[in-house]
């Protein structure tokens, strides 16, 4: 089929995520750490448009600093499109257009959402129809968080975070996010965690090789009970993110003072996620944090994974 017969752009929307629980275990030889995590997809989105084209290219808008997103071969959405083309024998290209709503390098999986959206968009654009199992396998080759961005909802991730089991979550959870102008490098935060552990001596000698998500976390999600979830939330990367960005500590305290049930660093940070008792409580927390001059967003979860729009 010639390009002239192809449909117009395919639009796919994929969500950012919060790690409601993030247990980090031993570092394996491939550099990845064993994880036991619970992801929740939240209502902050990446919009990806796949336009028919002969070559591969990507453009970026919507980011506070668009120049911070690479548009060369490091771009994860571009790599996703190329991977799908290689695996399916497609010889056409694509012009990807990324409209970013998730903070760049913020610990919310924005780049992973771009990659998941690009896979779904190119699969539709090219008519390759690879199906969910193969999409998942391709996603996990692109990055540990990419399968979850395809999947959405609430899910337990093990292995590198890419082995997913859906988790039941009733109702909706209200979150206030405090974003930072400057992102954090995920590998750098994991390295910092290793250093902290080595200097403490304990986990470096005897790291947990397999981890579990506590039952209390899954029960609170299943019950839709934010009050029960708050005290059992945890992020093993938090100390490392705060070591990289000491000012985050004060913001965590401010959010709780403003009425949040609890606050954690989202993934590798520096975005902070404050769990609130409901929509009204979240609006009040958002207002109070904004009054202190911070960028605060009210979002909810769980929401769907990468989906074609229109």
Token pair 């796949």 is found at: 50
Number of residues that bind ligand C5P (CB under 6 A): 12
**Closer to ligand C5P at the Cβ: 161 or 263?**
161
Report the candidate in 10, 19, 30, 2 with the shortest Cα–Cα distance to residue 217.
19
Q: Is 100 a residue of the active site?
A: no
Residues contacting residue 28 through CB under 8 Å, at least 6 positions apart = 34
Q: Does 144 bind ligand C5P (CB under 6 A)?
A: yes
Q: Of the residues 145, 162, 174, 254, which is catalytic?
A: 145
Distance CA 6, CA 145 (A): 31
Q: Does 197 bind ligand C5P (CB under 6 A)?
A: no
Q: Is 145 a residue of the active site?
A: yes
Judged by CB under 6 A, the residue of 145, 174, 244, 288 near ligand C5P is: 145
Report the candidate in 309, 299, 267, 310 with the shortest Cα–Cα distance to residue 47.
309
Distance CA 275, CA 258 (A): 12
Q: Does 100 bind ligand C5P (CB under 6 A)?
A: no
Span from 30-38, 198-206, 278-286, 288-296 in contact with ligand C5P (CB under 6 A): 30-38
Rg (CA), the chain: 19
Q: Contact 289/296 with Cβ under 8 angstroms?
A: yes
Binding string to ligand C5P for residues 70 to 89, with x set by CB under 6 A, is what? Answer: --------------------
Judged by CB under 6 A, the residue of 10, 22, 35, 281 near ligand C5P is: 35
Q: Does 160 bind ligand C5P (CB under 6 A)?
A: yes
Q: Contact 71/60 with Cβ under 8 angstroms?
A: yes
The site for ligand C5P (CB under 6 A) is made up of: 31-33, 35, 143-145, 160-161, 186-187, 190
């Amino acid at each position: 089929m010639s390009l002239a017969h192809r449909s117009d752009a395919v639009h796919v929307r994929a969500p950012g995520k919060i790690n409601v629980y993030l247990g980090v275990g031993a570092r394996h030889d491939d550099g990845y750490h064993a994880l036991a995590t619970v992801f929740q997809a939240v209502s902050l989105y990446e919009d990806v448009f796949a336009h028919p084209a002969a070559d591969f290219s990507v453009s970026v808008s919507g980011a506070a600093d668009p120049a911070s997103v690479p548009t060369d071969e490091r771009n994860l959405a571009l790599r996703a499109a190329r991977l799908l083309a290689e695996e399916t024998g497609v010889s056409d290209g694509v012009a990807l257009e990324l409209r970013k709503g998730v903070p760049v390098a913020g610990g919310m999986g924005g780049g992973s959402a771009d990659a998941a959206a690009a896979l779904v968009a190119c699969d539709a654009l090219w008519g390759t129809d690879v199906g969910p199992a193969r999409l998942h396998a391709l996603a996990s080759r692109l990055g540990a968080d990419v399968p979850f961005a395809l999947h959405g909802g609430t899910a337990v991730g093990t292995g590198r975070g890419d082995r997913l089991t859906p988790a039941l979550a009733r109702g909706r959870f209200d979150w206030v996010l405090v974003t930072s102008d400057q992102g954090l490098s995920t590998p750098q935060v994991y390295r910092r965690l290793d250093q902290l552990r080595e200097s403490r001596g304990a986990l470096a000698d005897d790291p947990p090789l397999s981890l579990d998500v506590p039952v209390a976390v899954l029960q609170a999600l299943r019950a839709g009970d934010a009050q029960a979830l708050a005290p059992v939330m945890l992020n093993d990367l938090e100390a490392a993110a705060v070591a990289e960005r000491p000012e985050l500590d004060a913001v965590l305290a401010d959010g709780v003072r403003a009425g949040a049930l609890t606050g954690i660093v989202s993934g590798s940070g520096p975005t902070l996620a404050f769990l609130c008792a409901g929509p009204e409580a979240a609006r009040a927390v958002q207002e109070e944090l904004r009054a202190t001059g911070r960028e605060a967003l009210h979002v909810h979860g769980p929401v769907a994974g990468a989906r074609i729009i229109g």
